[in-house]
Amino acid sequence: MMNNNDFHVGILVGKFFPLHRGHLTHIFNAYSQCDQLNIIICDNIQLDMRLCKEANIKYISADTRLRWLKTELKGFNNIKIHIMKEPNDMPEYPIGWPQWSKCLNSFIYDYCTPYTTDIKFTIFTGELNDVEFYKSYFPEYDIKYFDYSMTRYPISATQIRKNPLQYWDYICGSARKHFAKKILITGTESTGKTTLVKMLAKIFHTSWAEEMGRIYVEQNVNDERYITDEDYFNIIRLQIEANDHALKTCNRLCFFDTDIVVTYYYYRLYKNENDIYEISDSELNLFNSIYDAYYKDLYDYRFFLSFEGVPWVSDGLRRHEDYRDELDGVLLEHYQNFNIRDFTAHPKMEIVKGNYHNRLSYMYKFCQSLINH
């Protein structure tokens, strides 16, 4: 840190779209040269949505980018992170520099100026083309250029957006969850879901989400017919936690073999076996709200393993060998009711048949094509 009488305030502006290790190198380089570093995230919803659409990736909100930065910079107390909302009608770069500089100048005055005298401001930029603009519109500030090409991370966010899996190692850990390809492999009992998911995860050196419903029953109930509504709530919570853990540790791909629709399927199945054929609006609303809040946009690809082509394997918990065809239809109907089994939309629910080897071969080729894209 600087030790003279001036209080050095650093300004580092960017979209962090996404946050990568070159950004972190830039941030720490700036942090080491000032007493307080202000990181300003530029938020222009219309532009940001367009950039994501052009790159065929999910929208990255400013709040998401703020969370990434806070995660990576936890413990650096002299770094403050802000979101600066830009007017949607602002002309695009570089034509909009006059308007944008006024917006930035006001933001710095309102949110980045400490209550002290003898302040020295420095703007740190990694864009060589911006240096002269900053000098022109912020003549009272020092301007320091950071050359990404001279670091071990000579990468741009634009390159990453175009092919995040190719540049996976450059993406900060906190941001990888957003770019991992999330693959759901679902189906009814004894279709090989769990085994297939584990094999694929090991082949592609990544993580998968354990089926917490099965683990919970084995550890607490031993018979799914006797689990209570409270048990289902615990299973739902544990499954979301398992999903999040898998996403935090994944490597390009992340696999799942269950979701809230499967939980709902078993919930209704065992209610029916206890002669309860209708559920209340509050029960249905609970499942719908969990689906909408967490599962609706979670997966990039969905596969349904049909019972056709694989034998029934008894494991002590499975009980529905004589109804496999019927139950496949029931589960698919539940997916349709949850508005995700739409064969005209993306991502589709693709039905996979054949023996175990055919299923593994098909899914292996599909996953390999994602990585080689």
Other CB atoms within 10 Å distance of the CB of residue 225: 11
* Residue whose C-alpha is closest to residue 266's, from 229, 316, 238: 229
Q: What is the mean pLDDT of residues 121-147?
A: 97
Task: Spell out the SS3 assignment of 104-125.
Answer: HHHHHHHHCCCCCCCEEEEEEE
Question: What's the pLDDT at 197?
Answer: 98
| Range scoring the smallest mean pLDDT among 16-25, 235-244, 330-339 | 330-339
Q: What is the mean pLDDT of residues 199-227?
A: 91
**R_g (Cα) of the chain, nearest Å:** 26
* Residue whose C-alpha is closest to residue 107's, from 63, 43, 31, 157: 43
Question: What's the pLDDT at 115?
Answer: 81
Backbone phi and psi for residue 91, each to the nearest 5 degrees, phi listed first = -55, 150
Task: Confirm if 194 and 211 have CB atoms less than 8 A apart.
Answer: yes
pLDDT higher at 224 or 297: 297
| pLDDT at residue 346 tops 90 | no
Q: What is the pLDDT of residues 287-340, one digit of tens each?
A: 999 999 999 889 999 999 999 999 998 776 667 778 899 999 999 999 988 865
Question: What's the pLDDT at 1?
Answer: 45
Please, what is the Cα angle at 67 between 65 and 68, to 5 degrees?
A: 65
Asked if the domains 7-165 and 180-372 are classified in one and the same CATH topology, the answer is yes
Dist. CA 23–CA 27, nearest whole Å: 6
The alpha-helical segments, DSSP class H, found in the chain are 21-31, 45-55, 62-72, 97-111, 131-137, 157-162, 173-179, 193-203, 212-220, 229-248, 260-273, 281-290, 324-337, 356-372
- Whole-model pTM? 0.89
Please list, in sequence order, all residues whose beta carbon lies within 8 angstroms of the beta carbon of residue 138, skipping any fewer than 6 positions away: 101, 105, 121, 123
CA distances from 292 to 157, 268, 330 (A): 30, 19, 21
Dist. CA 240–CA 236, nearest whole Å: 6
Q: Specify whether the backbone of 316 is left (phi greater than 0), alpha (psi in -120 to 50) or beta.
A: left
Other CB atoms within 10 Å distance of the CB of residue 9: 22
Please list, in sequence order, all residues whose beta carbon lies within 8 angstroms of the beta carbon of residue 148, skipping any fewer than 6 positions away: 22, 25, 26, 126, 154, 155, 156
Q: What is the mean pLDDT of residues 16-29?
A: 97
| pLDDT at residue 344 tops 60 | no
List 79's β-bridge partners, or say none. 37
Enumerate the domain spans of the chain. 7-165, 180-372
Kindly tell me the burial class for residue 55, based on how many C-beta atoms sit within 10 Å of its own C-beta (0-12, 13-18, 19 or more).
Answer: middle
CATH topology of domain 180-372: Rossmann fold (3.40.50)
Average pLDDT, the chain: 92
| pLDDT at residue 44 tops 70 | yes
Question: What's the pLDDT at 4?
Answer: 59
Which CATH homologous superfamily contains domain 7-165? HUPs (3.40.50.620)
Helix, strand and coil percent figures for the chain, each rounded to 5:
50, 15, 35
